[in-house]
Structure 1
Amino acid sequence: MSRGLLSIMAAILLLFSTFSMASEEAPKGASNTAQKEMVQLAGADYWRAVKGGVEGTTTSRSAEHGVLISTPGETWYILKEKWMSPAGAVAIFGSIFMVVAFYLIVGPLKLSKARTGRTMTRWTRWDRALHWSMAFTFLTLAFSGLMLVYGKHFLKPYVPTDLWGFVIWLAKQYHNYVGPLFGILVVLVLLKWWRKSIFRKVDFQWFMKLGGMVGKHKGSHPSAEFSNGGEKALFWLLVVFGAIAAASGLVLDFPIFDQTRRDMELANLVHGISALILICGFVFHIYIGLFGMEGALEGMVTGEVDETWAKEHHDLWYEEMKAKEANGELDSAQNAKQDDVKGATANEQTS
């Protein structure tokens, strides 16, 4: 009797607990489902607002501190990655292709007459130091900048991850810290050579004859002052676009003066375009200095140019220097050098 009663009571309790658990689990499961749906719905609304540029609340004091995602940045990304990067590669390789084709088809510009062995001082030590400092700084900045833009395409897939990380870190640090030095050098170049780079009528005549490098005017050596029309054009290209590149680079280097993301994106695009123009321009400059004109590199290496070279490429400057020499207006060091050269030439002729 007692065992039967206990069994019946146990069965009743078990049945009651089962129904009780089932009744509790159903609302709990329904509650979890509803809660997930609410979270998902709230999350979608939240991220939709964030992506739409809706401002939130933060303790940051920086510009645009309340905007987590800036949707206009998509336009900057498309311009940079889909247009500028491919166009920049085409422009750079196109410039290189052009100078190679020019060299193969037209060839270098040679001197029309034999060298005299007498030289004239064209560049001082200060001139050469400034030129080569600018050349080294520009070329290394160009290389590091191109690494930052194109390195992920031509280097990253082929090197270990750690090496790639170090290379791109080094390129970034070098570009950021040496960039301001380039701006200082641009100012020094402007102060040093702006007077010799003012365009005059003779420069337009030089352009009309294409510098005597191609066509029916090849080898004609059109008249030029200390700087010819091409050198003056390159000078102002360096000054104008170098200043733009330096200024936009400073905006990117020091984002601590309340620059907005729009300011940074615009500075990035301007910096890239100006740097690209400089790179393409200096491809031609390097070609002329190394391969395109006989005797051009010698002057910037030693500071001296042969009189034949001076007379053919910068005849107005040559005449001006000869007039000063005849009037005794050259400094003592220049006169001493000229005397040494003349003495050496006379000894050679005697022997």
Structure 2
Amino acid sequence: MYSRILAAFAVIVTLFSGMALLAPAAIAQQSGEVPGQALGINSDADLWRFVRTGNAGSVSMKDELGAVMIQSEGDNWRALRNGPLSNIGAFGLFIMLFLLTMFYMVRGKIRIEKGPSGKTILRFGSIDRFAHWLMAGSFVVLGLTGLNLLYGRYIILPIVGPEVFSAITTGGKYAHNYLAFAFMVGLGLSFLLWVRHNIPSKIDLQWLRMGGGIFKKGVHPPAKKFNAGQKIIFWVTMVGGLSVSLSGIALMFPFQTTMFADTFAIFNAVGLNLPTDLTPIQEQQYNQIWHGVVSLVLMVIIVAHIYIGSVGMEGAIDAMHSGEVDLNWAKEHHNLWVEEEQQKTKGSPSPAE
């Protein structure tokens, strides 16, 4: 009996002795000192300040990025992506769809005022239509898969569940990566085919002053093969498409490009003071944000283009369907181009089949 009491007393004494020995070290650590009188940073504040500013330590692995414990810009990137980028993008798409719906309810479908003539004129050949649909089809898939990455977890995931959403997102990722190259080919081909028709001219100013003739019946401003609105779409698509392609390549092949550092250096040459000493992770974050911004801007604009080229205007979709458009439609929307074509052929358009 006494032996058990003595044993228990010995255990208690041992525990209290250990705690007494550890207490000074714990108190020293709480006060910012390093236990064991080893060399080191003297306060937790200094330690975390060192870590939070992105300073790199040393690692034995080959990946040097692993030496950075906390990359503080990542907080800013996440906040920007999940905050303003997502919110403003969704707001822009909603506003465009709302405006198009209101426009359709007020203006209705823009009809051929003189009615179909029964005669057609070739507007786009096979190579033109191929370039258009290669670019447009891939862009639609890229847009939908990109929107899924941005909003899918909030909209699709609660409906279909994690397993189906995971399969959709994984498949969408591969589609996004591979169809990006189809988009680039279509973009380049479209530029080569149509750039000569999209050089701005004085006629475009008149077209813009008249609102393109889409807001009021009986108004048909002069236009060649591409009117001012189509030229704006063309240049926005070309410049935006090139930019989103470059940032997309940088994202597909990470840590191998310095696009933003080089771009900032160019801007600095004209008086700006942008950072050029960017880490590989910072380059990727800039690429991702820019890719999202440009893509959302293109989507908002292209939605309007799809509307006016399909349900918004009678006869417009034929240009990219069969390539042949009704002669009266062509005269109302591209009268100068019709005159040029008729002078070339010196004959009348063939009857529609």
Could you state the TM-score of these two structures normalised by the residue count of structure 1? 0.83
Aligned to 1:113, the other structure's residue is in SS state coil
Counterpart in the other structure of 1:287: 307
Partner of 2:261: none
- Given the superposition, is the C-alpha separation of residues 111 and 36 from structure 1 closer, same or farther in structure 2, using an over 3 Å criterion? same
2-structure distance, mates of 1:113, 1:22: 104
Gaps of 5+ in 1: 1-9, 329-334, 346-351
The aligned length equals 321
1:141 aligns with 2:142: yes
Partner of 2:343: 323
Residue deviations 1:228-262, cap 9 Å, x none? 11111101110011111111111111114166111
Distance 2:305 2:240 in 1: 15
Corresponding position of 1:224: 223
Alignment map for 1:182-221 (pairs within 5 Å) = 182-215=183-216, 218-221=217-220
Distance (whole Å) between structure 1 residues aligned to residue 166 and residue 306 of structure 2: 31
| Residue equivalent to 1:300 | 320
Higher Cα radius of gyration: 1
The answer to whether the 8 A contact 2:142-2:179 is kept is yes
Equivalent-residue separation in structure 1 for 2:210 and 2:19 (angstroms)? 88
**Which 10-residue stretch deviates more, 247-256 or 91-100?**
247-256
C-alpha separation between the residues in 2 aligned to 1:53 and 1:108?
57
1:263 matches 2:283: yes
Match of 1:24 in 2: 14
- Structure 1's 70 and 18: CA in aligned 2 closer, same or farther, altered over 3 A? closer
Q: Secondary structure at the match of 2:15?
A: helix
Q: CA deviation at 1:183?
A: 2.1
Map 1:19-168; keep pairs closer than 5 Å.
21-31=11-21, 45=44, 49-62=50-63, 64-168=65-169
3-state DSSP class of the match of 2:55? coil
Identity of aligned residues (%): 33
- Structure 1 pair 194/258, CA: closer, same or farther in 2 (3 Å)? closer
Mark the CA change 1:271 to 1:22 in structure 2 (over 3 Å): closer, same or farther.
closer
What RMSD over aligned residues (CA atoms) do the two structures have, in Å?
A: 2.8
Going from structure 1 to structure 2, the CA distance change for 1:258 and 1:92 (only over 3 Å counts) comes to closer
Kept in 1, the 8 Å contact 2:255–2:281? The answer is: no
Cα displacement (A) at 1:61: 4.5
CA contact (8 A) 2:135 2:184 kept: no
- Relative distance call for 1:213 and 1:50 in structure 2 (3 A) is same
Provide the rounded CA distance (Å) in 2 between the counterparts of 1:239 and 1:325: 31
Partners of 1:129 and 1:37 in 2: how far apart?
Answer: 75
Give the aligned partner of residue 253 of structure 1.
252
> Which residue matches 1:312?
332
Q: Is the 8 A contact 1:62 1:258 kept in 2?
A: no
CA distance in 2, matches of 1:188, 1:252: 23
Stretch moving more, 54-63 or 159-168: 54-63
CA distance in 2, matches of 1:290, 1:226: 18
Give secondary structure in 2 for the equivalent of 1:305.
Answer: strand
| Pair 1:273-2:293 in alignment | yes
Greater Cα offset, 258-267 or 238-247: 258-267
Give TM-score scaled by structure 2 length. 0.82
Q: 1:233: which partner in 2?
A: 232
Structure 2: how far apart are the matches of 1:258 and 1:315?
Answer: 47
- Does the 8 Å CA contact 1:141/1:175 hold for their aligned counterparts? yes
Closer/same/farther in 2, CA of residues 14 and 97 from structure 1, 3 Å limit: closer
Q: CA deviation at 1:315?
A: 0.7
Amino acid in structure 2 at the alignment position of 1:223: P
**3-state secondary structure, aligned to 1:296:** coil
**What is the CA–CA distance in structure 2 between the aligned matches of 1:74 and 1:124, rounded to whole Å?**
50
- Report what 1:5 is aligned to: none
Deviating beyond 6 angstroms after TM superposition, the runs of 4 or more aligned structure 1 residues are 13-19, 35-44
C-alpha deviations, 1:74-123, integer Å up to 9, x for none?
22222111111011001001101111100101122221213221211111
Q: Given that residues 250 and 257 in structure 2 are in contact (C-alpha distance below 8 angstroms), is that contact kept between their aligned partners in structure 1?
A: no
Shift of 1:53: 2.1
Q: CA distance change for structure 1 residues 185 and 36 in 2, over 3 Å: closer, same or farther?
A: farther
The residue type equivalent to 1:81 in the other structure is N
The CA deviation string for residues 23-53 of structure 1, in whole angstroms up to 9 with x for no partner, is 4333223345566677887799466643342
Closer, same or farther: CA 54–279 of 1 in aligned 2, 3 Å:
same
Kept after mapping to 2: 8 A contact 1:180/1:250? no
CA contact (8 A) 1:148 1:168 kept: yes
Residues 284/35 of structure 1: CA separation in 2 closer, same or farther (3 Å cut)? same
CA distance 1:80–1:304, shift in 2 (3 Å): same
Change (3 A) 1:249 1:15: closer
Specify the code of the residue in structure 2 equivalent to 1:164: F
